[in-house]
Chain A
């Protein structure tokens, strides 16, 4: 198993963090109580990193990860607590309950039967390609869970256990699984290479779900989700409504200064077509993206189509990464807010996993056929562009631009061409990465790992390595990454790989610069 060296405190990470990895349930010195303030630091995008990512700090070449001896239930990410009882027994109880009450049973059974061990998937995974460590082959990781299934939940496995009177599962195996499934970013690139149709992203998700029910999940994700579901502010960045309204005023003033027009961020308007949910961290960190979106609606003369709701305004759903239980509760908040405002559609901002989780879960948990439709903002923008509602100045963005496909929206082919059509319409010097679209490489921070600051070295050095090479080959100045997660990760990747001068931006950041306002309006 590839481990990675922990930095005492990553310079770009959470300042002054003194936690140590948890071993055997030891809470570690300096563990802070994260219930209240300090939430924003913990979430998807962290302000320190953004502020510094394009700064003048000398790039630190990522070191090759060193092998750590495997420690019993020692994970490279921080845990909050650990199930205190018999963990093997607990794991099997959880697995049993999950097989019974969800749709994973047949999936696991089929995969356990057909897995060919052909190693086709190996060459598809950016982790294996970077490490060449066979423990990182997708099939190996998936098989960690499948073997537990075979040995504990099939007739043959039970006979085998009786005959040899042995228990297959051990704490060490749980530990290996716990570490391995957070190496995988759940990007599903490998799944499309598997001739047997094994979806490793889904198996990784399932493994993480089972583990999370025994409290094995990165603290960063759990703490943010707790605030979202049970905290006072109800969102992962712990932004209170008053602060949200302030921010919107602020953004509107900015637009007035920069563009010379008064642009509205509609709040709590009932009966609008779209109720808008960006990754909530955008309100803290991606001002340009939000300004771009508001200006786009304004310039098209269609500002009355959308609204932001103060009841709930967070598109982030870490449930997609580690817990079905959380996923359902989170998406229900989104659906409830859309209904409260009598909106007709759910509109997700520039965020890959927020889009995918809404696309998947709104129908799943919100009434199937009768569920509200889900759109990504780029679909709406493209539609306005095609209808001739947007005028873009082709002489504003002259630098080379490339586009990073966030896997969560590109892998299924949902959003691949739309952003390219928009970008090509006004960027003179647009180049694609290779491979791209459905076959893109993950930025290396998928599956929630980007929020786990303590594994930054791994994310940028291993999983983000291929991405860094891809970006370097394009020679682009702007890397357009319409996803909160990808933006944070790619900024860190560029920083750690010495890609100076590369700017990671959102799609609407560039639109914001290029939009030409109508007669008598703006400058």
Chain B
């Protein structure tokens, strides 16, 4: 068991971060390149940057959505995301681990705050899962990936909580610890390859939308020429 933990704390961790880093860089490079290409090809190169920036912010800070029909969902999602972003990055234990590895550290969350955020994120995740299971539309749309990712996040947070509070856990510490390390690493690895990619691409989705409507002059003719239909009537 302990060798497993050693692996999970060592090589696996480095591997997971490397995959994430390479995957993220690839996606960002691709996104920037493609957006530049779309902008170059567009007949109308004027882009309402300010409007788009405002709209993007509007989605990141979901106050607008609080008027919608799925208020509990929005709140649960926001709470989960706050936990998801703060706890992994600012938990004292994590920062210590990173400092040991690469020699850089930063301020940490007080333990109580981390506990509260973790429990809140768990509650949020459960609400999201309930929506998926019981709301007609959400359930119909969901595939295995959608459930598995939620379960994976729940696992990471739950085991994380028990790592911090081993006395409340029924399972042996090493089992919990290993499960936490592995689930967290799996999340990191999956970010570039699953719908979690939204964490990387979120900032660009509005620009993508806007540029999508900037059509390419002559594009329609080229498509028809490629299909052997040049010169054909409507």
Contact = CB atoms under 8 A, between A and B. Distances in A.
A65 interface: no
A276 to B, nearest CB: 23
Nearest to A329: B220
A106 B220 contact: no
B205 A365 contact: no
A73 B150 CA distance: 37
B226 A97 contact: yes
Interface string B211-234: 111111111111110110100011
Contact of A364 (B68, B73, B215, B233): B215
A229 B220 CA distance: 15
A323 interface: yes
Contact of B223 (A97, A195, A198): A97
Interface stretch (B93-101, B108-116, B136-144, B166-174): B136-144
A134 B44 contact: no
A128 to B, nearest CB: 7
Interface stretch (A117-125, A167-175, A336-344): A117-125
A364 B223 CA distance: 17
A103 interface: yes
B201 interface: yes
A468 interface: no
Interface string A82-118: 0000000000011001101111111101110111111
A153 to B, nearest CB: 14
A105 B34 contact: yes
A202 interface: yes
A93 B223 CA distance: 10
A113 B204 CA distance: 12
B208 interface: yes
Nearest to B36: A106
A250 interface: no
Contact of B141 (A107, A139, A198): A139
B53 to A, nearest CB: 13
B69 A123 contact: yes
Contacts of A225: 234
Contacts of A102: 41, 215-216, 219, 223
B41 A103 contact: yes
A213 interface: yes
Contacts of B137: 119, 122-123, 128, 134, 137
B35 interface: yes
Contacts of A195: 59, 62, 65, 77
A328 B234 contact: no
Contact of A114 (B146, B197, B213, B226): B197
A184 to B, nearest CB: 15
A364 to B, nearest CB: 4
Contact of B209 (A202, A328, A360): A202
- Name the residue in B34, B46, B219 with the highest tally of chain A Cβ atoms < 10 Å from its Cβ: B219
Nearest to A228: B234
Contact of A120 (B44, B70, B211): B70
A103 B216 contact: yes
A328 B212 contact: no
B136 A132 contact: yes
A365 B215 contact: yes
Interface string A355-387: 000001101111111010000000000000000
B45 interface: yes
A326 B198 contact: no
Contact of A368 (B46, B62, B209): B46
B31 interface: yes
B233 to A, nearest CB: 5
Contact of B221 (A106, A120, A325, A369): A325
Contact of B195 (A101, A114, A329, A365): A114
Interface in A288-329: 323-329
B212 A202 contact: yes
Interface string B132-167: 000111111111001000000000000000000000
A364 B224 contact: no
A104 B62 contact: no
A363 B212 contact: no
Contacts of A123: 68-70, 137
B180 interface: no
A196 interface: yes
A118 B72 CA distance: 13
A197 to B, nearest CB: 3
Contacts of B226: 97, 100-101
B34 A134 contact: no
B231 to A, nearest CB: 12
A222 interface: yes
A197 B208 contact: yes
A329 B233 CA distance: 12
B205 A196 contact: yes
A128 B137 CA distance: 9
A199 interface: yes
Contact of A226 (B56, B138, B204, B233): B233
28 contacts: A100-B226, A101-B222, A101-B226, A102-B219, A103-B42, A103-B215, A106-B37, A106-B208, A107-B209, A110-B205, A118-B138, A134-B136, A137-B141, A195-B59, A198-B205, A202-B213, A226-B233, A229-B234, A325-B221, A325-B223, A328-B219, A360-B44, A361-B215, A363-B44, A363-B46, A364-B214, A368-B43, A368-B45
| 5 closest A-B pairs by CB | A325-B220, A197-B205, A134-B140, A106-B34, A119-B138
